[in-house]
Amino acid sequence: NAGVMQNPRHLVRRRGQEARLRCSPMKGHSHVYWYRQLPEEGLKFMVYLQKENIIDESGMPKERFSAEFPKEGPSILRIQQVVRGDSAAYFCASSPTGRLGETQYFGPGTRLLVL
């Protein structure tokens, strides 16, 4: 039973380019959460998605960031026109049903470096 998968593991972009981060949840999980971890800081919630629905995007920056979780395929976090401040580790987590108090399992993260 494969765990949460993320790719790429490392991504280097120049300022102004686009970054696309992918997350495949654990088998049987239909709820995905994205968190951002700035260097030497804790994880900050960004967005919570169910298949084809954004449930809570209260942690997403208003501009340049978007997320989706299509019916088929992985969840994607998209950052347009990246800036140096976007450099961080981006983790996704998944859970089976999204019930309150349900364990979230984390992926290995994508480390984004903006030059």
25's CB contacts (< 8 A; 6+ apart) are 4, 31, 32, 75, 92, 94
Does the protein bind another protein through residue 90 (CB under 8 A)? Answer: no
Does the protein bind another protein through residue 18 (CB under 8 A)? Answer: no
Does the protein bind another protein through residue 74 (CB under 8 A)? Answer: no
Lookup: tokens for 5: 């998968």
Considering only the C-alpha atoms of the chain, give the largest distance between any 2 of them, rounded to a whole number of Å.
39
Shortest Cβ distance from residue 69 to another protein (Å)?
13
| Antiparallel, parallel or unpaired: β 88-95 and 110-114 | antiparallel
Distances 88 to 4, 85, 95, 97, 104 between C-alpha atoms, Å? 19, 8, 23, 28, 20
Using the rule CB under 8 A, give the single segment among 17-25, 54-62, 70-78, 80-88 that binds another protein: 54-62
Q: How many residues bind another protein (CB under 8 A)?
A: 27
> Residue from 30, 74, 105, 113 that binds another protein (CB under 8 A)?
105
Does the protein bind another protein through residue 106 (CB under 8 A)? Answer: yes
Does the protein bind another protein through residue 99 (CB under 8 A)? Answer: yes
Please name the helix (run of DSSP H) or strand (run of DSSP E) that holds residue 88, with its range, or none.
strand 88-95
Binding site for another protein (CB under 8 A): 31, 33, 35, 41-45, 48, 55-56, 58-59, 91, 95, 98-109
